[in-house]
Structure 1
Amino acid sequence: MRADAQRNRDRIVEVARELFRARGFDAVSMDEVAKGAGVGPGTLYRHFPTKESLYDAIIEAWSEKVNGAVDRALALEAPARVRLLAWLSDYAAMLTEHKGAAARITGALGDPGSPFAAKCQTYLGANQRLIEGMDSALRPGANAMQISRLVGGVAAVADNSELPADSVTAMLAVIADGLLASVNA
């Protein structure tokens, strides 16, 4: 890619990230992104044919961030509950980084045709790694989809309300206690 084209692409992604974060995915038009980035619509659509492809570009590094968070939680020298809560808290925080993302991503779980399918697979994979890394600390039958939907539901509520952080933490603790094979883990 030519240097000027790369600069345009980077600027588009930067502007879109800020707009999506501030107002949410659904509230931002592609025309607004183009104007904010100082490029024409043709340039925008040449790089990103759909709004979903633009959103994907915004969170390319996100997959590494998700996997890094689950790795950090699993590496903690702490009881299972502390490790689990570390991951659930990071997971909920990542879902709420972009306004409206928690509900969109959680709602797309299990839909391979969704424009958010890759993001869903990243979260499902991270939750599966958590299950495998926690050995027998989690209750039998707990699965990645359940964890994704439960935390996604809490994150969606947090994203669309004025809940204080301690209320979100309390809900995640209830989920953690339900996932653990023993509350004393």
Structure 2
Amino acid sequence: MGTRSTAVEKTKDRIVQAAKELHAAQGIQGTSYTEIADEAGVSMATVYRHFPTLAELIPACASSIIVLQPLTTESVAALFQGKAQSWQRLAWVIQGTCECYERDGGWLQAARREGDLIPPLTEIVQEQQKGLRTLVEAALAGLEVTPRQVQVLAALMDFPLWKSLREMGLTPSEATDQVLQLTRDYLEKEILIYQ
């Protein structure tokens, strides 16, 4: 039984990976289940068996992307163990999210572009933005930070800004450095100066 369940999971993983690649290349709505099946090397019936609708497939794709995974108080606390300073914690989060943006940017871009058209995508994007705010709040714990300041910092760390920097010709490293600089400047101007 263990071998069968392992094979099923591997098949589902192939389907999800194929879907993510195709969604990134041609959009979520522009990708058929037939194309996903061909890319994954399975039958269309197999794709439908595991993911009968986009409402099941989209969360499976999102769950494999780190910045889209739900956060708990415990998971956030564990992230910051050994990182004492607020800026150190925030910079670490920014670097990690930017690495994810580079790795999974195609799917994230498709999700943002089609988010208003496909309800599960809207929820995923909202959850990702909520996660960024949660990470900012946790990273800056101990500092007096207003909700508006948390929103601005989360916006500076969000995918659209990083994507725009990349589209303007910055390398992944340069885009990450720029996001770090913008957030540090904002942090120093708006928060640390008053603490």
Using the size of structure 2 for normalisation, the TM-score is 0.66
Q: Which amino acid aligns with 1:177?
A: D
Structure 1 partner of 2:163: 156
Aligned to 1:175: 183
Greater per-residue helix proportion? 2
Distance between the aligned counterparts of 2:113 and 2:143, measured in 1? 28
Shift of 1:46: 2.6
Aligned sequence identity (%): 19
> What SS class does the counterpart of residue 192 from structure 2 fall into?
coil
CA deviation digits over 1:69-126, x for unaligned, max 9?
A: 9556633435322221211222233234223344455678999945241353144135
> CA shift at 1:131, angstroms?
0.8
Which residue of 2 is the match for residue 34 of structure 1? 37
Partner of 2:174: 166
5 Å-filtered alignment, 1:21-100, equals 23=25, 25-26=27-28, 28-51=31-54, 53-61=56-64, 62=66, 71=77, 74-100=80-106
SS at match of 1:162: coil
Worse-matched range after superposition: 142-151 or 78-87: 142-151
| Number of residues of Structure 1 aligned to a counterpart in Structure 2 | 184
> Is the 1:74–1:83 Cα contact (8 Å) retained in structure 2?
yes
Matched residues in 2 for 1:177 and 1:109: separation?
Answer: 31
DSSP-derived class of the 2:34 partner: helix
Root mean square deviation, CA, Å: 4.1
- Please list every run of 5 or more consecutive structure 1 residues that lacks an aligned counterpart in the other structure: none
1:35 Cα deviation after fit: 0.4
Is the 1:106–1:148 contact (alpha carbons within 8 Å) kept by the matching residues of 2? no
Shift of 1:14: 3.3
